[in-house]
A and B are shown apart, each in its own frame.
Chain A
Amino acid sequence: MSTATINDSHAVGHHGDAHGHDHHHQSFITKYIFSTDHKMISKQYLITGIIMGCLGMGMSLLFRLQLAWPDETFPFLETLLGKWAKGGKLDPNYYMALVTIHGTIMVFYVLTAGLSGTFSNLLIPLQVGARDMASPFMNMLSYWFFFLSSVVLMSSFLVETGPASSGWTVYPPLSALEKAMPGSGMGTTLWLVAIILFIVSALLGGINYITTVLNMRTKGMSMNRLPLTIWAFFLTAVLGLLSFPVLLGAGLLLIFDRSFGTSFYLSDIHLNGVGALSNSGGSPVLYQHLFWFLGHPEVYIILMPALGISSEVISTNARKPIFGYTAMVISLLGISFLSFIVWGHHMFITGMNPFLGTMFMYVTLIIAVPSAVKTFNYLATLWKGNIRFTPAMLFAIGLVSMFISGGLTGIYLGNAALDIQLHDSYFVVAHFHLVMGSASIFGMFAGIYHWFPKMYGRMMNKTLGSLHFWLTFISAYLVFFPMHFMGLAGVPRRYYQFSLIPEFNIWMDVNIFITLAAILGGIAQLLFLYNFFNSIFRGPKASKNPWESNTLEWSTETKHIHGNWEGDIPTVYRGPHEYSRPDRELDYFPQYEIGDGEPEHYHAPATAPDTSYDGKKEKATTVFFSSFAHLFSLRRA
């Protein structure tokens, strides 16, 4: 009768048993291309993300040239871009296309997929103690949808009318009317297809991350012993899962507006008192609402993995427990919740009801509270720490710096009244490039330097890494800090040629300065690329636990095997941040080591839990509230 057989390894995940790893020969294709192993998929995400990052940065340098020397010509541009830079001067439409695709690539392809995709894939199974993701096959699909999406997006550079050019937010009507500007044609169609493929990828990945964290933690790995990286990846996946589908809905309606004559985002457009188009009844503001319902959680999808990574890196390299673990988790939860109810602050001046704007302003400013909790906890963790300045640590501290200086301007921009002056100015550009662009890319670099030994079994060069950090750090501030002043003076973003506008001529020198700093930043990334690819093949061999860290991934061998652990999965005995305990000789105490007086085995069920249908189950309310009880009970051991 009862389905006792349901309890075989199936119930927790098919890698729950000790024989998950296989030794059969893998061909090149199954090992490196259509791999279902989370470690390989993570590397695929990282390499794709780095390539996309180089493209995105290259684009930014091209349009920075135009901004710094709008009246000069650069013959090499014509060689590179052909008809888009006739005589060596960038075409205005192509300038818009570069701005648009730079934003799209950086936001979605580098800092969403490249960051969260890489480190969620690498660290979730390794740090919670699982053989692989819940569904390795879906995980593989997730990467290949992402890859396909990247190819479709980049292919829009090959169409005659150029890529999408209406900004990374692709607001209608520019994006909805195919004849609005050259990029509104095929380019925008490809952009929408690419984004829909991206949403599918994010969905497949997110479902996997959430399920793995909830269902497949090893024995003893309670939620309040999860490394903060995992909490961050988990909540990031939740945000993506609930916000990307809304962009799917928005994109679907936009596709119908573009290709099938509907008017969801188009209302009557009149020229000289005559209706110019047959469209009526829709509203471009509807698109903005739907877009920013994704768009705002998206900035936390970008930022939170970086915050999680830096928590882990700072605690490890300061040789101290993270200050206020529970506060860190609760502030992540708070940020996640608040991120869904603040999207209106992107739309203060679209004609939205001012009372609504006031509400959005209040909830926006409340985000300062959990953000400040995180910042102060980072500082308190560093306080009197025994700091090891590895490149990863430098980048993690750099993140804290960027997060503070970018976050402070968020308080200005979140203010509905101030936003009348500041919206769509360089102040906004400065704000989000510091707080979400630079901070997140710093978190990504911290993660790469920290977990490179786990990914490739070799160490990266520390001197080059430190040089990379200082050049990147300095150039990031030199690029983005002057933009605050330009923005306060009213210089609008996305303008092609400031030399045509006398009021903005005084900023020409600043623009040249910014462009030179950006080129410096670009050169710094060449150092990173050399260090990264050189170390993959020629770096010194890494030891098993090079940073003397506590978390579970360092208990695996440096050689990757399918299934992660040769024998049983280790049991977890304590939280992830037990550094410098006075009663210990070593200054770290791995989660998987048994201490004195700790029971050798947990009495967790030896086999997977009983899911037979007539078996007694915990009530849903018990499950739900016990999760909070666990979180709030503040237990360390």
Chain B
Amino acid sequence: MALFGNCLDFLDFIPLFRKVKSNIDSSIKMSNSTTVSSSSIWTGGRSPFNVSYGKLMMWIFLLSDAFTFSSLLVGYGAIRFSYEGSSTPWPDPAAVFNHFPFMHGMHLPLLFVSLMTFILIFSSVTMVLAVEAGHRNSKSEVSKYMILTIIGGAAFLGCQAWEWTQFIGEGGRLDSNMFGFTAEAAAKAKNLGFGDHVHWEAADRIPGPVPFASLFFIVTGFHGFHVLSGVVINIIIWLNVIAGTYEKRGHYEMVEKVGLYWHFVDLVWVFVFTFYYLI
């Protein structure tokens, strides 16, 4: 490694370091071998990443958007952490999100949100298939998988609507909520098994930490807004697919770009799910 001489050679026993070093060495050789190197990546006249400007822009946008979500999740973490040891403890998400459509009165912790997660991840799979079909220029298959992706996204939004309705119905508001438990009720909630019958009297519930509900609406709402935008964009791209726009253009890069966005929205949900529901 030219930069540091050989002073870091003692790190050679680390495979990753050896690999990095040989990468740097080879690229230095590449750039020094001739002043004019056609194989050099960074000398201009081409994209160093071999991508179109549009795809690069999408990656950069997603990086930026990741910071927006991070700020919300960090804010959530800071507020939740401040409730450690408080007299109104942070509600156990498993005790709050334990409903499932048509299974009234059963304790099914996080089952519904797991279904939502599955639906969203599955729509990412169909998106991958659409992108792959695009590489083969197969219009009918791109169209088919785009439709499945759109249905997946819409289904996720529908699930979210049901969950919000449920949450609001139980007293979740932006400025208050009823997700605190009296001591006896909390003890009872702890002993519930999966599928047990559960019924809360009004007296069991007391006002819980205010930010619990407002953060729920903000974090899942902001994500849901992204999913909604994604579904709308997917529909527009799908209309272009069936109109033959990309077939004429000779490539389906637009599908790939919205695919990147879709996978990102999916990835963000994994974090939301982990931080808001699981922990």
Contact = CB atoms under 8 A, between A and B. Distances in A.
A293 B75 CA distance: 12
A627 B24 CA distance: 9
Interface string A451-485: 00000000000000000000000000000000000
Contacts, number: 237
A216 B175 CA distance: 50
Interface in A622-637: 622-623, 625-630, 632-633, 635, 637
Nearest to A249: B71
B232 interface: no
Given A3-B251, A221-B44, A256-B218, A626 B36 contact: no
A605 B214 contact: no
Contacts of A203: 61, 64
B253 A6 contact: yes
Contact of B137 (A3, A604, A617): A3
Nearest to A4: B250
Interface in B57-106: 57, 60-61, 63-65, 67-72, 74-75, 78-79, 82-83
Interface in A271-295: 278-283, 286, 289-290, 293
Contact of A248 (B68, B74, B78): B68
A253 B75 contact: yes
A211 B36 CA distance: 24
A25 interface: no
Interface string B10-27: 000000000110011011
A628 B78 contact: no
Nearest to A605: B46
Nearest to B19: A621
Contacts of B228: none
B42 A223 contact: yes
Contacts of B218: 252-253, 256, 262, 264
Interface stretch (B47-55, B161-169, B185-193, B269-277): B47-55
B135 interface: yes
Contact of A609 (B27, B50, B56, B222): B50
B71 to A, nearest CB: 3
B33 to A, nearest CB: 12
A49 interface: no
A603 B45 CA distance: 10
B50 A211 contact: no
Given A246-B67, A256-B218, A602-B36, A626 B45 contact: no
11 contacts: A207-B64, A216-B53, A222-B31, A222-B40, A241-B60, A252-B72, A264-B215, A604-B44, A608-B46, A618-B41, A630-B27
Interface of A: 1, 3, 5-6, 10-13, 128-129, 134-135, 138, 203, 206-208, 210-212, 214-223, 225, 241-246, 248-250, 252-253, 256, 260-264, 278-283, 286, 289-290, 293, 572, 598-599, 602-605, 608-611, 613, 617-619, 621-623, 625-630, 632-633, 635, 637
When A and B form their complex, which 7 residue pairs have the shortest distance between CB atoms, in order from nearest? A249-B71, A626-B27, A261-B175, A219-B45, A5-B250, A604-B45, A221-B44
